[in-house]
Structure 1
Amino acid sequence: MTKVVTSGKTVEDAVRQGLSQLGVSRERVTVNVLEQPSKGFLGWLGVKKAKVELTLLSEPSPETTHTAEPHVSAQAPSDVGQAVSQAGSVAQEAQRNMEASRGHIDPYEEAVRFIRETAAGMGLDVEVDVRHRKDESTLDISGPSLGMLIGRRGQTLDALQYLTNIVANRHSDKFIRIVLDAEQFRARRRKTLEDLAERLANQAVRYGKEVVLEPMPSQERKLIHAKLQQHALVRTYSKGDEPNRRVVIAKK
């Protein structure tokens, strides 16, 4: 047996299985990566394993071991450029395989990949721009028809943000926080909530009754609390259990 095709969770796993079947060390074979591993849509649907082809190298003959001279062939300039380009592609592929086998995967690249695959499953073609800050990173999504991705009051975007953080942190040795934005939705939503807080605070003062807001995610409740924290006439608190926890605005 001089050639085998094996598969595994990573390229390195597949190579190890092939070496075991051939009963040789890594130096005795050439490796051709047939398929890269893929996590599939949403990170778990349609998972594809890595597939490699291992070809056993022949033993060099004693006559050629010490006497063979290097052979240099003349190439036209276009052939040289093509050879350099192919060599660069092979080197990049080898680097990606090494990083994958060692677990050196960029969590932000995985997050971007996950977002684009999810959007593609919804029939959307999007681009994702990554902006790093001190305590968090913002991934700005751009493309046509993003209303479907944002959802009613940002609920779909919030759900996608939650899943994206899970995907990214699988590949990070420390906790990272990712915020998703699309069409400046976060800034527009913040302005809407701050205006709502002011209006309902005035209502609580005018009528002297508590105003109970609709259920909100924690980050939006924090915006309401922060906006009215220094208000002279009202105070705020939250009540209820997730996902039905609400902000209450009451007169002091």
Structure 2
Amino acid sequence: MEEITVSAKTLDDAITEALIQLGVTSDRLDYDVIEKGSAGFLGFGMKQAVIKARRKPEVKVEPEIKEEPKKEEEKESIDAAAVKAVDKPAKEPKKDFKKENKKETKKEPKKEFKKDQKKENRKETKKEIEKEKPEIKEVELAKVEDATIKACEEFLYSVMKTMDMEVEIVSKIDEEGALSIEMNGKNMGILIGKRGQTLDALQYLTNRVANKMQDGYVRVKLDTEDYRRRRKETLENLAKNIAHKVKKTRRPVSLEPMNPYERRIIHSALQGDKSVTTHSEGEEPYRRVVVTLVRR
């Protein structure tokens, strides 16, 4: 049995990395926690989470096929027919009975129902993607002034100083005209937090600072250790693994709770897969994506 050792900033990140390396979904993963990991205090004493992971042995669950009772019924019907054939001459109108059965089966509009169902599933998936989009006003971004950049950097430096962390900050204007700020240093996992919650909160505060400095709307994107790109790739790979699981088992799979941005990544990653459909269930902050097989 293949067993790997995975370490990451948090236990959740270690489990996600193990899922990707082993190419399995969460219900097929078996792991032992070697080290839970800790964020330490003010950057000191941080420990990475360490797990030993392996695939669970695949259990083939075959659907119950009730063929034996049918065979017994067929035998009984055959025996009864044999008795009737001996007692009475074969004058039963068999041809008329078959025609009536054929007429009844032709009346069932199964194909039209399936086509309508597929269209409805596709429409629901598109609606879910639209729902998960963050509410960002379609306004033209203002040109970021030097004073705004300086104010954002000073704010972040002051926060890092309070946390007793030494961080190098690199700011630039990206292709969309937004202020992109990259933070580099040691123990950046503290700034990321569980599923990026700390980084999102710090980004929100930096946006508030930027928009108080000048007229017009300024958008700030905060990142460290390339977390945004890595998280997106992790979710896209997870979506593909879940879709494969759903196709194999023909059963829906519910993912862990995610924020709207991450749920939208899952919806978009599977939008082109015609074999599955996605929708969200539950209330914030426990709303989650459910992947379901498209019946044909």
TM-score (norm 1): 0.55
Q: Which amino acid aligns with 1:245?
A: R
1:236 and 1:243 mapped to 2: Cα distance?
18
* Structure 1 residue 164 corresponds to structure 2 residue 206: yes
Aligned to 1:132: 173
1:172 and 1:209 mapped to 2: Cα distance?
53
* Contact 1:119/1:149 (8 A) holds in 2: no
Task: Specify whether residues 244 and 207 from structure 1 end up closer, same or farther in structure 2 by C-alpha distance, changes over 3 A only.
Answer: same
Deviations along 1:114-145, one digit per CA (max 9) or x if unpaired, are 21111211111112111212153321001122
Q: Which amino acid aligns with 1:222?
A: R
Task: Report the Cα offset of residue 248 of structure 1.
Answer: 1.7
Q: Which amino acid aligns with 2:258?
A: M
Task: Specify whether residues 222 and 136 from structure 1 end up closer, same or farther in structure 2 by C-alpha distance, changes over 3 A only.
Answer: farther
Alignment of 1:181-220 (within 5 A): 181-220=223-262
Alignment of 1:1-252 (within 5 A): 106-133=147-174, 134-252=176-294
Question: Deviation above 3 Å: which 4+ runs of structure 1?
Answer: none
- What's the Cα RMSD here? 1.8
Structure 1 unaligned residues grouped into runs of 5+:
1-103
Structure 2 unaligned residues grouped into runs of 5+:
1-144
Structure 2 residue matching 1:106: 3-state secondary structure: helix
Task: Specify whether residues 174 and 225 from structure 1 end up closer, same or farther in structure 2 by C-alpha distance, changes over 3 A only.
Answer: same
1:119 and 1:174 mapped to 2: Cα distance?
28
Q: Which amino acid aligns with 2:238?
A: L
Q: Which amino acid aligns with 2:246?
A: A
Deviations along 1:16-40, one digit per CA (max 9) or x if unpaired, are xxxxxxxxxxxxxxxxxxxxxxxxx
Task: Report the Cα offset of residue 244 of structure 1.
Answer: 2.1
Task: Specify whether residues 244 and 208 from structure 1 end up closer, same or farther in structure 2 by C-alpha distance, changes over 3 A only.
Answer: same
Structure 2 residue matching 1:129: 3-state secondary structure: strand
TM-score (norm 2): 0.47
Task: Specify whether residues 250 and 135 from structure 1 end up closer, same or farther in structure 2 by C-alpha distance, changes over 3 A only.
Answer: farther
2:179 and 2:277 mapped to 1: Cα distance?
32
Task: Specify whether residues 249 and 120 from structure 1 end up closer, same or farther in structure 2 by C-alpha distance, changes over 3 A only.
Answer: same
Q: Which amino acid aligns with 1:114?
A: F
1:135 and 1:225 mapped to 2: Cα distance?
27
Report the number of matched residues: 149
Aligned sequence identity (%) = 40
Q: Which amino acid aligns with 1:146?
A: M
